[in-house]
């Protein structure tokens, strides 16, 4: 018999002997747990569609899009650029910036600063990168004269400053 044959036989034995007869109660009692039966199902997971609706996902995506907008701009330019001509490529930086900020806005616009879940998500995600992303977005929307968006972002910025920086 070859090594591979022995290996396959060992895997077969392990799977048939030990896994089929595994007693979770015995395993957990080995570590000094209480003697209650392990009858609870493991915690369920959520699928990606459910996770995409959470404030934690939305804040994270907002931050990621704003901080990686230059990568997006370069990809956009390369996508439309042809080796023959460079006409019209001057405005592509602004187009990329516009698309990135408005896509990021689609995630952060739902932020309800008085909601505990949003506050928790902002607390988890708060770092210098989020502060930078907010500053960049506020600056962009000020230049575009979209002051309602600026006001919303400033509320988030104020919440982070007033409630989280004092705890550091």
**Whole-angstrom distance, CA of residue 62 vs CA of residue 132:** 12
Any residues with CB less than 8 A from the CB of 130 and at least 6 apart, and which? 59, 63, 122, 160
Structure-token pair, residue 61? 């995506």
**Residue 89, CB half-sphere, CA atoms under 13 Å: how many?**
15
**Residue 1, CB half-sphere, CA atoms under 13 Å: how many?**
8
Percent of the chain with pLDDT over 70: 65
- The model carries a pTM of 0.66
Q: What is the pLDDT of residues 61-92, one digit of tens each?
A: 999 999 998 887 777 777 777 666 555 566 77
Q: What is the pLDDT of residue 118?
A: 94
**Whole-angstrom distance, CA of residue 3 vs CA of residue 23:** 31
- Average pLDDT taken over every residue of the chain: 78
């Amino acid at each position: 018999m070859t090594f591979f044959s022995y290996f396959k036989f060992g895997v077969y034995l392990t799977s048939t002997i030990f896994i089929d007869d595994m007693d979770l109660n015995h395993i957990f009692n080995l570590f000094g747990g209480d003697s209650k039966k392990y009858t609870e199902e493991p915690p369920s997971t959520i699928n990606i569609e459910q996770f995409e609706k959470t404030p934690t996902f939305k804040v994270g995506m907002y931050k990621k899009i704003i901080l990686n907008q230059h990568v997006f701009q370069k990809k956009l330019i390369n996508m439309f650029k042809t080796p023959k001509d460079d006409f019209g490529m001057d405005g592509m930086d602004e187009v990329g910036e516009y698309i990135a900020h408005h896509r990021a806005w689609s995630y952060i616009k739902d932020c309800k600063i008085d909601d505990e879940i949003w506050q928790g998500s902002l607390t988890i995600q708060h770092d210098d990168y989020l502060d930078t992303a907010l500053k960049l977005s506020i600056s962009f929307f000020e230049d575009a004269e979209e002051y309602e968006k600026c006001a919303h972002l400033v509320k988030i910025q104020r919440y982070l400053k007033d409630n989280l920086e004092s705890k550091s």
